[in-house]
């Protein structure tokens, strides 16, 4: 960062003074951090909300952009089964990270050009250390690549380089109070993801029951059976965002996820 001419302010989600100071000095803020501590998910959600509120107060009345990160998976508890999620779908405080979304969007009425980027559960590409590498590690450990039930539940996905460009466009031009979707694949059947993992690891690809999922997938069990088809058509039209990097399955087929 310093080589690119940027000043670095080191802080933490729980260091609210650092967040206030950084936001006050910045031309705009992109909030990407989140405590991925699934042993205290409620605490992680609360910390995220405090961070959004703190940064928001520092930006009030400035007209500066504030882009807050959320996830498309929250839509699974809000929408009828199988319905494609869109940017018009609002959330509520009872949904994980819903309070943070609403707090951020409310800042549009207080002189902040705030927006939300909901990321797909798989933000993939070289350097990914999220859900897909975890699934690969689980398959190696268990000796099988598994999916739940018929495996036809769908995960949206986005290449991390396309996601990065979306955040840049959002901070530059997203209208105040807008919801954006970081999803280039609208929905990849989870069985296809498991199939690629099994083939590259030379492991059997098997179906397991919902009752077996907790023991097999651990903290990921709630996500692997989620059906989360998600559109980004409005985002693409609004910001001129066009994903150009490989989709999830072609990216997995390149093999870089499986190098040890």
DSSP 258: G
* Number of alpha carbons in the 13 Å side-chain half-sphere of residue 74: 23
The answer, yes or no, to whether residue 38 has pLDDT greater than 80, is no
Q: List pLDDT tens digits, range 56-95.
A: 999 999 999 999 999 999 999 899 999 999 999 999 878 8
Cβ 221 vs Cβ 147: under 8 Å: no
- Whether the Cβ atoms of residue 190 and residue 149 lie closer than 8 Å to each other: no
b/e per residue 200-219 (b: at least 16 CB within 10 A): bbebebbebeeeebeebbee
Contact indicator for 44, 35 with CB cutoff of 8 Å = yes
Q: pTM for this one?
A: 0.94
pLDDT tens sequence across 122-155: 999 999 989 999 999 999 999 999 999 999 999 9
Whether the predicted pLDDT of 1 surpasses 70: no
Long-range CB contacts for residues 105-109, cutoff 8 Å, separation at least 24:
105/177, 105/179, 107/56, 107/59, 107/60, 107/66, 108/176, 108/177, 109/177
Encode pLDDT of 204-260 as tens digits.
999 999 999 999 999 899 899 999 999 999 999 999 999 999 999 999 999 999 997
Torsional sign, CA 36, 41, 47, 50? positive
Given a cut of 90, whether residue 10 has pLDDT beyond it is no
């Amino acid at each position: 960062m310093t080589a690119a001419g940027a000043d670095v302010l080191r802080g933490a989600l729980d260091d609210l003074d650092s967040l206030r100071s950084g936001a006050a000095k910045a031309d705009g803020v992109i909030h990407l951090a989140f405590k991925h501590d699934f042993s205290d998910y409620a605490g992680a959600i609360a910390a995220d909300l405090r961070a959004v509120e703190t940064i928001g107060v520092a930006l009030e009345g400035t007209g500066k952009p504030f882009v807050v990160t959320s996830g498309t998976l929250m839509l699974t508890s809000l929408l009828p089964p199988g319905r494609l999620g869109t940017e018009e779908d609002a959330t509520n405080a009872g949904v994980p990270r819903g309070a943070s979304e609403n707090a951020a969007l409310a800042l549009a009425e207080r002189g902040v050009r705030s927006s939300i980027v909901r990321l797909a559960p798989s933000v993939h590409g070289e350097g990914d250390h999220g859900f897909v590498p975890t699934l690969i590690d689980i398959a190696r450990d268990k000796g099988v690549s598994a999916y739940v039930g018929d495996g036809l539940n769908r995960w949206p996905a986005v290449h991390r380089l396309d996601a990065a460009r979306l955040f840049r466009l959002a901070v530059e031009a997203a209208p105040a109070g807008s919801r954006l979707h970081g999803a280039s694949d609208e929905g990849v059947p989870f069985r296809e993801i498991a199939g690629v993992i099994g083939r590259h690891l030379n492991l059997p690809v098997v179906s397991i029951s919902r009752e077996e999922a907790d023991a097999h997938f651990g903290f990921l069990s709630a996500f692997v059976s989620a059906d989360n088809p998600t559109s980004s058509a409005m985002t693409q039209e609004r910001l001129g965002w066009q994903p150009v990097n490989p989709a999830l399955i072609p990216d997995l087929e390149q093999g870089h996820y499986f190098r040890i």
